[in-house]
Chains A and B, each alone.
Chain A
Amino acid sequence: MADGVNALAWRLARRELRGGLKGFRVFVTCLALGVAAIAAVGWLGSAVVGGLKADARKLLGGDVEIRLMHRPTDEAQRSYLATNTARLSESVEMRAMAHAAASGGERTLVQLKAVDGAYPLVGGVTTVPASPLANLLGRDGGMFGAVVDPKLLAKLKITVGEPTRVGKATFRVAGTITAEPDRVTSIVNFGPRLLISTAALAETGLVQPGSLIQYYTKMMLPAGADFASWRGQLDTRFPDAGWRVRAPDEAAPGVKRFIERLTLFMSFVGYTVLLVGAVGISRAVSGYLQGKVRTIATFKCLGSPAGLIVRVYLMQILVLAAVGIAIGIAAGIALPWVALSFLKGLLPVEPVIALYPVALVQAAAFGVLASVTAALLPLGRAREVPARDLFRAAAGALGNRPRPRFLLAVAVGIAGLVGLVFLSSTDKWFALWFVVGAAATVGALALAGALLLRFSRWPRPGNAVLRLVLANLNRPGTSAPGVVLSLGLGLSVLVAVVQIEGNVGRQIAERLPEKAPAYFFIDIQPDQVEAFERVVRSIPGVSDLQREPTVRGRIVAIAGKPVEEVAVAPEAQWAIRGDRSLTAAASPKADASIVAGDWWPADYRGKPLISLDANLAKGFGIGVGDELTVSILGRDITATVANTREIDWSSLRFDFAIVFSPGVLEGAPHSHIAAARATPDAEAKLERAVTDAFDNVSAIHVRDALAAAAELLDGISKAVSAVAAVTVAAGAVVLAGALAAGQQRRIFDAVVFKVLGATRRRIAGTFALEYGLLGLITAAAAVGVGSLSAWGVVKFLMRMDWTWLPWHAATTVAVALAATLVFGLAGSWRILGLKAAPYLRND
C-alpha cells in the first residue's frame, strides 16, 4: 500500500519537476555552497592527515624512535637496542648559532642535526649537488662538510663551498638540502636546518652538561616483530630510562593536532555556510510552494490526501537536494585541487590525493538533513492549504500553522544536525561552543529582524519616500527578516574573523614587542654565567637582564596517578605533551602573583616543593598540598605543590610553569637561560657580543619568532577568511533570491509610481534607500554579534587583551551596504526601464 502511494507520489513529483529548477536556483546554490564548504574542508584535512599517515615511517625515521633529553643512551641501552632491532641510526638535535666564518660576519640561529652513517633508515636526503650524504658530510682537507637549508646561505650571505662556523668547529658548506625525510615542515620554524655528521659534532664543543640537546635513536624492527610486545620488553628491561618512545602512528603529533584543529575551525565556518544556506533553502521552498498553492488545492479537490501532497513535494525537494549535494560534493573535491596548487610547499607534508568517503558522506549527510529540516515548515504549511481557495478569486496562501508533528520533525532535524556536528568534531567542547554560539547568533539576528519590522511600523515619518521605504520593509511577505538573518550570519562570521585576526595581529605586531624581551639566550653553562652577565651588561641600550638555571623534565604523575590516567583539561594538555623547562628558586620573582599557598623560606632545604602555574593546577585538578612527579634525566622527583601563581604567558614573560624549591636541581647537570630587553639599535650588538664570546650559547631573536608566528597567523587567517567569504557569498545568494522573489511587487510599485508622476531617478532613489537601510541594519546587527563573538574568543579562549577595531567593523558595514545595493539595484535596473501601460492593461 505504502509502495503504491510512494510510486504515485513519485510519478506526480516527476511531472511537477517538469516546470524546471527556476524557483529552486537559490535552493540548489545555497545547498551546494554549504556542502562544498564542508566537503572541501573535510577532504583537504583528510588529505593532509592522510599524507601524515602515508609517510609516517618516513617522518618518524623508522619503525620506532627513542628520544632522550640532555643525554645519549648508555652502553647497556645501546647494546640492547642494537641486538633487538634490525637496524638503528643515532642522531642528535639542538639549537645552535651558525656564523659566516669571516670575522664579524653574519650569524643566525640554526636547527643543528648531527647524524651517523646509517642515517636515514627510511627514504633519502636529497641534496644539491646530488651526492651520498657520507661524501658531503665527511672530512675533506681537515674540515668536515655540512649540508644546509638554502635559507641559511641567504641569512649568512655565503654560498656553497664557503665555510661556516658552529661552536668551535668550522664546516665547509658542501651542499643544500632539498628534502629531509624525517623532518616535518614545522608550523613555526625558528631557524634553518644545518646537517652535520655525529663525528663532527664533538668538534663543535656544543655538547655541554645541561645543554638543550635531544638524542634520537631510530630503529627498524626485525621482520614480523610486533611493536607492542617489543615495547613491553623494552619497558621491562629499562623501566626507568626516562625516554620517549614513539611508533609511526605518532610520527608528527604536533602537526597532526594543528591540522585537525585548523580543519575543525574551518569546518565550523563550513557549517555556518550551510546554516546561512538553510535560511535560503527554507525561503526558496516557501516561495516555490507558494506558487503551487492552487495546484495543491487542485490535488485536494481531486481527492488527494494531505499526506500524499507532502510526499509529492518532499520527493521534489529530495531530488533537488540530491542535485545540490552532488554539485557541492563535486565542488568540494575540485576546490582543494585548486587550493593545493596554491599551497604547494606550504603544507607540512605531501597530501595524499584520494577519495575520502567519510568527509564526503559527512558533507552529504549535513546537506540532506539541513535541506529537509529547512523544508519541513513550508511543507507543513503547504499541507494546510485549504482546497476551498480554488473557489475564490484571490490568490491562495500557504497555511499559517503547520501541525505539531511538523514542528516536532523540525526539532528532530535540528537535533540531528547538532548530533552530526558533535559526531564530526574531534573536539566536543568546541562543538558545544559552536552550537551554542550559532544558536545565540541566529536568535540575535532573528530578534534584530523582528525589531526591524516592529520599528518600521512604529514611526511614520512625514517624508513620503521614507514612509514608503518603511512600509516596504514590513509589508506582508517581506523578505527583510530573512535577509537580516542570512546575510547577517555571513557578515557576523566575517566580523568575528576580522576582529580576531586584527586583535591577534595587533598583539603580535605592537603589544608583544612592547612587553617581550628582545632575546632569549639558551645553553649558558654555569661557569659562563658571570662572564655572560658582564658581556650583556656592557652593551648600552640593554636592560632588564634576567637569568635562571634550567633543566628539562617531563611530568609523569599528578597527585600520585600516572599522567596517562589523569583527565587533564584541554587547556593544560600542552604541559604534559613533552619536556618542559624547569627551574629552582629561593625566592619568588618581584612581580610574581601568588594566588594560593605561600612561597617557601629563602633558606628552605626540606622535602621538594613546587610553585605551579595556577592555570595548570586547575587543568590538572590539583592544588596546594597535592603532589606532582617530574622525571628529570631519568630520575623521578616527587614534590608537593606549595603555591600556585598566575602567569600571563601571552606577554612572553620570562617565567617557568614549574619552579622547584632550592636544592632539588642542584645535583642535576643544568644550563642557564636568560632574557634581556634591548633598544632596536642595541639588538644586533647584543647578539654579536654574546655569540662571539660564547660559541655554545644560542640567541633566539623574539622579533624573528614573532614574525614567524605572524606569518603563520596570516596563512591561517587567509584560509579561514576564504571559507568565511563563502558564508557571505551564501548570504548574498539568499539576498539575491529574496530580491528576485519580490521582483513582481517592485514592478507593480514602479508602475504605480510612474502613473503618479515619479521620475525613474526618484524610483531608483526609493529602492536604493530601502536596500541601503536593509544593508545598514543587517551590518549593524552583524557587527554587534560578530564583535561579541570575537571578544569572547580573544578574551577567554586566547586570553589576550581585547580592543574593538572600528575600521575592521567599517569594512563589514561597507561589504553589507555594497551587497544589498548592488544586488538590489542590479535587479531593479530593468524595472526602471519598463513601460507602465502593458502592466496596467494586464492588471
Chain B
Amino acid sequence: MNAESNSSPLVRLGRVELTLTSNAGPVHILNGIDLAVDAGETVGIVGPSGSGKTSLLMVVAGLERASGGAVEVAGAAFHELDEDALARERGRNIGIVFQDFHLVPNMSALENVALPLELAGIADPFRRAEEALVRVGLGHRVQHYPGELSGGEQQRVTLARAVAPGPRLLLADEPTGNLDGETGEKIMHLLFDIQAEHGTTLMLVTHEMALAERCRRLVRIGDGRIAEDRLQDAKSASHG
C-alpha cells in the first residue's frame, strides 16, 4: 500500500524553522528541527508549555507553514504545496485527535466520523464510519449528537473520525487533557490498540511523561529545538 520503502521515513523534517509575528515583534517557535519518523513508529513528544511541541505537530499536519526548512509527509513536500493540496494530503494520510474533540455540533456521531471519508471521496462512508464507531465501543451511540455524549465518548468519536479513513499518520494533541484519569486511560488504551492493529504511525504530544513513555520513541522539545530524541526499551513502551 505504501509507495515508499520501509526504509524511507514517513515524516521528514529538515532544518524546520517557524517564526510567527506578534505586536511585540517576531517570535521564534521552532529553531531548526530535524526529525525523521518511520512508518509504524510511535513517537511521544514532550516539553514544557510554550516549547513548541504543538507547533511541531501543526507543521507536520500542514496546518502551519514552516518559515524555513523542508517538511515531507508520506512523500509529499508540504513546504511546496498550497492550502488546498495540503488539505487533500491531510484527508488522505493524516488523522488528528484533538484535546478539545472538535466535533461538529450539528452532526451526529456517525456523520462526524463519515465527514473525512466523504471529503476524501471514499466509497460507502457511512458503513465505514459505523464500523469505526463500533470499534471504539460506540456502536450504540451512532445517531447521538456531540452535545448528547460525555467527554470520553466525544473523544472516542474523535478517535474514530481520525482513524476511519485509514491514515498512515495519526497525530494526537493532548488527547486526554480534557478527560478524567480513568476515562483518559481508556482512551489511551484504545489509541494504542488501534495504532497497533493498523500499524499506523503515531505522533503524540503530551505533557504527561507517563503517556509519552508508552511510545517507542520519545522526543523532548525545548526552546523550539529537539533537546532529546531517544528510543525507549520495548518493555516501558507498552500500550497493551
- Which residues of chain B have C-beta atoms less than 8 A from A294's C-beta? 102
- Which residues of chain B have C-beta atoms less than 8 A from A305's C-beta? 83-84, 87-88
| Residues 119-159 of chain B, each 1 if its beta carbon lies under 8 Å from chain A, else 0 | 11100000000000000000000000000000000000000
With both beta carbons as reference points, the residue of chain B lying nearest to A7 in the complex is identified as B118
By the criterion CB–CB under 8 Å, are A303 and B102 in contact? Answer: no
- Which residues of chain A have C-beta atoms less than 8 A from B84's C-beta? 305-307
By the criterion CB–CB under 8 Å, are B63 and A303 in contact? Answer: no
- Which residues of chain A have C-beta atoms less than 8 A from B161's C-beta? 302
- Which residues of chain B have C-beta atoms less than 8 A from A390's C-beta? 63, 98, 100, 102
> How many residues of A are counted as interface, with CB atoms below 8 angstroms from the partner's CB atoms?
28
Contact of A4 with B102 at beta-carbon distance under 8 Å, contacts A302-B90, A302-B115, A388-B63 already known: no
B54, B58, B106, B116: the one contacting A15 at CB < 8 Å is B106
Give the dominant DSSP class at B's interface: helix
Interface centre among A12, A19, A298, A303 (most CB of B within 10 A): A303
Report the minimal beta-carbon distance from B234 to chain A, rounded to whole angstroms.
31
By the criterion CB–CB under 8 Å, are B98 and A391 in contact? Answer: yes
User: A576 interface residue, CB < 8 Å from B?
Assistant: no
| Residues 86-98 of chain B, each 1 if its beta carbon lies under 8 Å from chain A, else 0 | 0111111000101
Contact of A303 with B104 at beta-carbon distance under 8 Å, contacts A388-B58, A388-B63 already known: no
By the criterion CB–CB under 8 Å, are A388 and B64 in contact? Answer: yes
Report the minimal beta-carbon distance from A551 to chain B, rounded to whole angstroms.
80
- Complex CA distance for A298 and B87, rounded to whole angstroms: 11
A11, A18, A298, A388: the one contacting B102 at CB < 8 Å is A298
User: A208 interface residue, CB < 8 Å from B?
Assistant: no
- Which residues of chain A have C-beta atoms less than 8 A from B111's C-beta? 15
By the criterion CB–CB under 8 Å, are B119 and A301 in contact? Answer: no
Interface centre among A11, A12, A301 (most CB of B within 10 A): A301
- Complex CA distance for A390 and B120, rounded to whole angstroms: 21
User: A721 interface residue, CB < 8 Å from B?
Assistant: no
Contact of A308 with B119 at beta-carbon distance under 8 Å, contacts A19-B105, A386-B63, A390-B102 already known: yes
With both beta carbons as reference points, the residue of chain B lying nearest to A391 in the complex is identified as B54
User: B61 interface residue, CB < 8 Å from A?
Assistant: yes
User: A400 interface residue, CB < 8 Å from B?
Assistant: no
- Complex CA distance for A15 and B118, rounded to whole angstroms: 13
User: A300 interface residue, CB < 8 Å from B?
Assistant: yes
With both beta carbons as reference points, the residue of chain B lying nearest to A305 in the complex is identified as B84
- Complex CA distance for A299 and B112, rounded to whole angstroms: 10
By the criterion CB–CB under 8 Å, are A15 and B104 in contact? Answer: yes
Interface centre among A11, A18, A307, A387 (most CB of B within 10 A): A387
- Complex CA distance for A696 and B98, rounded to whole angstroms: 98
- Complex CA distance for A308 and B91, rounded to whole angstroms: 13
By the criterion CB–CB under 8 Å, are B58 and A303 in contact? Answer: no
By the criterion CB–CB under 8 Å, are A303 and B106 in contact? Answer: no
User: A159 interface residue, CB < 8 Å from B?
Assistant: no
Residue positions of B touching A, CB distance < 8 A: 54, 57-58, 61, 63-64, 83-84, 87-92, 96, 98, 100, 102-107, 111, 115-116, 118-121, 161, 173
Residue positions of A touching B, CB distance < 8 A: 4, 8, 11-12, 15-19, 294-295, 297-308, 386-388, 390-391
Inter-chain pairs besides A8-B118, A303-B88, A306-B83, 11 sampled, C-beta below 8 Å? A15-B104, A15-B106, A19-B106, A295-B104, A300-B87, A301-B96, A302-B91, A303-B116, A304-B87, A308-B119, A388-B58
**A-B interface, 8 closest residue pairs, ranked by CB to CB distance from nearest:** A303-B91, A305-B84, A302-B116, A388-B63, A19-B106, A387-B63, A303-B90, A18-B106
List 18 A–B pairs whose Cβ atoms lie within 8 Å, in order of A's numbering.
A8-B119, A11-B118, A12-B118, A16-B106, A18-B107, A294-B102, A295-B105, A299-B119, A300-B87, A301-B96, A301-B102, A303-B92, A304-B91, A306-B84, A387-B63, A391-B54, A391-B98, A391-B173
